Amino acid sequence: RIVSKMSLSTTSSSNTGDDNNNNSNNDKKKPGVATLEELTSFVEAAGDKLLVVDVRNPDASVEPGDQKSLAVAGLPSSEDRPRAVHLIWDRTSNTMPLPSSTMYDYDTPIVTHCGGGGRGQKAKEFLEKAGYKNVINGGGPKEKELWAVYGDK
């Protein structure tokens, strides 16, 4: 999958805590994570145009907590999660690569996610700052009800 790099920094006021301290209970969701109803409507309306952006980092020395969610749901591949791309959120620079401009435009419906929604929200805000207009934070595998809506995409 092709991605382009862009150095936009974001100064989000959303939760900066570790994504992996989240429970699956709806009342414990990270700030900015969509409701089940919002996410279901978004994914249904997007249809085949949906892009899922997985911002988790498989490097345990950088993001040790991601190992738990990676054990539940692996990184995207053409066989597993074909509508998903892996674009790592970098906590140090508060940036990430952008989706390929040759494959996706600024109106592409995008679901961002990490393990539980903290970096997913940062990624959502980053993409919106970069000009993407149709982005929602899907939380991640820890939000089991939400994950069931888009986790296999």
Contact between 94 and 8 (Cβ < 8 Å): no
| pTM of the predicted structure, to 2 decimals | 0.82
For 31-55, the pLDDT digits (tens) are: 999 999 999 999 999 999 999 999 9
Per residue in 27-59, is it b (16+ CB within 10 Å) or e — as a string? Answer: eebbebbbeeeebbebbeebeeebbbbbbbbee
Bridge partners for 112 per DSSP: 53, 137
- How many Cα atoms within 13 Å fall on the side-chain side of residue 145? 14
pLDDT-derived band at 30, boundaries 50, 70, 90:
confident
For 103-112, the pLDDT digits (tens) are: 999 999 999 9
Query: How far apart are the C-alpha atoms of 83 and 3, rounded to whole Å?
Result: 14
Contact between 115 and 68 (Cβ < 8 Å): yes
For 141-151, the pLDDT digits (tens) are: 999 999 999 99
